[in-house]
A and B are shown apart, each in its own frame.
Chain A
């Protein structure tokens, strides 16, 4: 019989279940349909970003430029429409910008062999700076009448389910199929697990790394569009916020190891749900913003420490089992 392995994913999920049950019983107003929808709606954008980050992290990389991809291309859409262009033209141009951005990221990392941490840190700063300096007239790109109908992406509903949740679920399904059912997905796991073995097995590792960053950027743009449509503007200063840390929190908390090759969409969902539940409950309990950060930090550390105790990376120590 195989011994029961306690995974980080399992721990986080049980923490989520315990917290959720606790709040449901002890926190009035938590377990209502409207609050549940609010909870999900608040974390939908975060969850979509988590999916983008997951693709890159599974391939043993990290993408710190995600927030730039979230802020700038949708900002460009709003700006172009404001300047009198049609919505479809604006969307096309923004998508091309995002594509180019992902390609540059991927090229830097795969071909120029810049570590992903530095490459995306720099490229994100560049894109955000470019947007603020050259593309947008105001830091918050305002809504304009030409966007009529577009707000449905953030404010509409399908069968009573708010659109951001629908988009998150849709993105989950698409990314899950990509990672688990396609050859490219299998190769990304292989690269994240052991890049040397992947390369010598004949996997085209470099093009696949580029693909990861292109996909991440495009999913980031989708998240940005959903965000812009729900708040009727694009606050491009979001780049200076701590959102990127929340994204990493979701991914790591969900159990997608930064070492690569582990985890999947389910982990993003679990991470997102836990964060969503915590944030929602803390908001109901009226915990201050700094207090919320404190709790998030403690939870993340606890999850990472639990993981390194339960799943020691070193094979030698794993065999000894004395850690």
Chain B
């Protein structure tokens, strides 16, 4: 057997003492397409980030073409021939395609005409249908990805890593993407491919590696796998079976109609969206990135504003509402738990208790002019216990916690405001498996207590397992509604992408 182009031995990466990957062995042969699959939080992203130099290993070794080396920055990795195409792409939106391709390699005198011609020739040689003079911001998701791939090839990458490349692509674009990947393979480039979509992994890859809870489970030729075997390897444990049970045992009936949205518009993301949310059940909202699902509920919570003219109607318990800021929405009992907790979730310089207490202060407003240290402590302690936050003490700063515990704090900060309509946006993104189960139980419990719960997710098994009612968003509006009883993954996916 020839030397693998890239190899990891006993790779371990700790985040704040918690292993994201632990003792993983991985090898990539030259010119192979290697699929990396696993549940959310299985360590796929961490593993590839190590290879791409985004994070460095806590212990273990990495070999490139048989030579022991560990890239410390993405630039070093690129120089070693390892390029990563991220979920959120790393192009400069205001520059043209050609400028992005040659970014960082410009000559001292940067002649635009020259790079346009070079880019045109290069893109043609790859058979990519992208105009080099187009601004990246104007391109669709698939074309952006092409530019990313072209850039990786241009930099003579020997290994290209794709993190969820197909998540935001339409079926035609996906087919085109697969052709691209095969073309890369023909050129002798090795490809690592992270995907939630098992069919894709089975279709395109030569070998599949399954990770679970940060550990390596199995690596084998794709021919020896079928869907059932991959799922078995991914899930493996009882916990995961209860997490994403195929179907709910019973569907909760709708209670009072809490929120009605009619013809909501916010150019360009939300287009004539209409939907209802009922008390006492979990309304799952599924949609791909850019389907307007997050924006719709951010408008309802006063975080974003709808169009001033023809913006549509939002009715909360029979009362039309139009919030200019989130403060009145909070007073009316609407909570939005963000999908991006680092950017808009918590206060990183503050302790756990203070984070939660700020939520309470914001709700109480005038009724609590002074900060009561004893109350802050009690509230912090109560919610740490209630949500089972694992931390050394309540004075620990939130940044020092793991993703799951951070998410619990963000949830506590909202729940302390005693909301009756709670919107969870991707509640388990970047959350460890144990905490996922707890957050799911919490979501169920909130619905049982009679609250209206909305759960936005782009992870189908999560939607399937937790929702009583499923709304599917596409291109700015809800296009289909299912009862959890008769929804299937295929039906939901079909509605979301066609």
Contact = CB atoms under 8 A, between A and B. Distances in A.
B16 A187 contact: no
B16 A199 contact: no
Contact of A201 (B54, B55, B326, B368): B326
Interface stretch (B167-175, B215-223, B359-367): B359-367
A204 to B, nearest CB: 5
B359 A201 contact: yes
Interface in B336-376: 336, 338, 342-350, 354, 357-359, 361-363, 365, 368-371
B330 interface: yes
B47 to A, nearest CB: 16
Contacts of A186: 354, 357-358, 361, 371
A194 B56 contact: no
Nearest to B330: A202
Contacts of A318: 399
A193 interface: yes
A316 B365 CA distance: 35
Interface string A290-322: 000000000000000000000000011011101
A18 interface: no
B56 A193 contact: no
A200 interface: yes
A224 interface: no
A199 B301 CA distance: 11
Nearest to A2: B392
Interface string B279-318: 0000000000000000000000101000000000000000
A180 B373 CA distance: 10
B413 interface: yes
B118 interface: no
A200 to B, nearest CB: 5
Nearest to A186: B371
A200 B399 contact: no
A2 B359 CA distance: 27
Contacts of B329: 202
A39 to B, nearest CB: 32
Among B16, B359, B417, which residue has the most Cβ atoms of chain A within 10 A?
B359
A201 B343 CA distance: 13
B484 to A, nearest CB: 29
Contacts of B349: 189, 193, 261-262
B413 A189 contact: no
B370 A202 contact: no
B16 A202 contact: no
A21 to B, nearest CB: 32
Interface in B160-213: none
Given A190-B347, A193-B350, A319 B15 contact: yes
A201 B325 contact: no
Contacts of A194: 344-348
Contacts of A199: 303, 325-326
A197 interface: yes
Contacts of A196: 343-344
A201 B413 contact: yes
Given A182-B370, A319-B16, A202 B331 contact: yes
A2 B351 CA distance: 14
Interface residues of A, number: 31
A121 interface: no
A164 interface: no
Interface in A43-78: none
Contacts of A319: 15-16
A315 to B, nearest CB: 6
Given A181-B370, A181-B371, A262-B349, A203 B55 contact: no
A315 B399 contact: yes
A181 B414 CA distance: 22
A185 interface: yes
Nearest to B416: A201
Contacts of A322: 56
B24 interface: no
A23 B54 CA distance: 49
Among A181, A194, A206, which residue has the most Cβ atoms of chain B within 10 A?
A194
Among B15, B325, B349, which residue has the most Cβ atoms of chain A within 10 A?
B349
B362 A202 contact: yes
A200 B336 contact: yes
B85 to A, nearest CB: 19
Contacts of B392: 2
Contacts of B414: 201
B338 A183 contact: no
A187 to B, nearest CB: 7
B115 interface: no
Interface in A184-223: 185-187, 189-190, 193-194, 196-206
Interface of A: 2, 180-183, 185-187, 189-190, 193-194, 196-206, 261-262, 315-316, 318-320, 322
13 contacts: A2-B392, A181-B371, A182-B371, A186-B354, A187-B358, A193-B348, A193-B349, A197-B344, A198-B358, A200-B344, A201-B417, A206-B325, A261-B348
Given A187-B362, A194-B348, A202-B417, 14 more contacts: A182-B371, A183-B365, A186-B371, A190-B350, A194-B346, A200-B336, A200-B338, A201-B330, A201-B362, A202-B329, A202-B359, A315-B348, A318-B399, A322-B56
